[in-house]
Chains A and B, each alone.
Chain A
Amino acid sequence: MQSYLCHGSETMGKGGDKMIYLLDVLFLLFLVICALVAVSLKDLLDSVIVLAVYSLIMALIWLEMNAPDVAFTEAAIGAGVTTFLFIATLVKTVRREK
């Protein structure tokens, strides 16, 4: 069954393929930047927020790779529940990295 959430690259022409390729490179670049920033930040609340952004970009990449089911899970778990649980942990412990 053809899913309506994903833009299948087989339905696009040559130009569409190139656009998707460039978008892929852009997403992956931003993903690496987000990961490095999340590790290097000293304030852990900022780090959690950057991790949520990382999850959102990862969901976009899954969607772009025609896996909308995994993208759905990544958006709900990674950007939603994990952020809540990390913030709950920060409330119980210290906010700044020593």
Chain B
Amino acid sequence: MTFVVKPRVRHPLLPVNELGLTRRDYEGSVSTLCAGCGHDSVSAAIVQACAELSLPPHKFAKVSGIGCSSKTPSYFLSHSHGFNSVHGRMPSVATGANLANRELYCIGVSGDGDSASIGIGQFAHIVRRRINMLYVVDNNGTYGLTKGQFSATNDKGSTSKKGVPNLYEPIDLVSMALQIGASFVARSFSGDKRQLVPLIQAGLMHKGFAFIDVISPCVAFNNHNGSTKSYDYVRDHSERLVSADFIAPGEEITVDYDSGALEDVAMPDGSTLRLRKLDEDYDPRDRIQALTQVQRSAEAGEVVTGLLYVDADAADCHDVLGTPAAPLNSLDEAVLCPGAEALAGVNAQLR
């Protein structure tokens, strides 16, 4: 419960980041989700990612819709404002928030019901609009708060806790995002922090719409045998395709001993995105190939994870609109109001 005050005790050995802050400064209130919920791992990954990037913990706008996933913005970055809006409509609220102040890091957290069912229209259109934000879907294939109904991302044939199979085709948000033109598309697993944290960092620093679909098992309703969104199933069937590391400007690029082909992508702000590809022929800058790969893997019952597609040079919504560098919410009368003299000109044209 959010009215349970979280003790703010700082362990003297906790490491501090460039701002002199520890991970504690990036946390939120105590989670009210079930013990073992994948969503809490995602929140922890967001805390770690932001702390490691040394971003000011109050310079975020956290937005969400309704559902278990949408509660999580309470559980990270308590120095930032959050907005828990209405079911399936977070993308429009995020759009408005980003238009008003482009300087804030915008994190949207949604769920599979929130984004793939009631909010699928808003999801599709925020992708199109290229809002500069990190959009995370905690994808567990089920409606947890209403006790275990199938959601639209649930695989056909995957069973409910009572053993009833899902009869309908799933909606794959990653494929949708790729198809509609998201400039950063990733899939990960809440149980794979090593992959997820760098993806969140890269997504936050990416300019444009960054989408991460995180398979995040529901321990209460969708973690049984027969479910394709259980911890066991995802561990057994996931295939890391491209891992990403975010390397801040000026930071030393250390040698990585992991297997796979390395490829560095320069980001517009001078940072580097280091991609580690397990399949040398896979080009994460080829949207069509990404789409094909995702579809093929789904057909084979596999879940490909990692940074599937990135266009580091994409324009965002503010570029498209031609807005000023200063946030719109900082402009005053001097800029916004054309004044009496201009109005006389308007009147003259209406004569």
Q: Do A and B come from one complex?
A: no
**Residues in A lying within 8 Å of B, measured CB to CB:** none
**Residues in B lying within 8 Å of A, measured CB to CB:** none
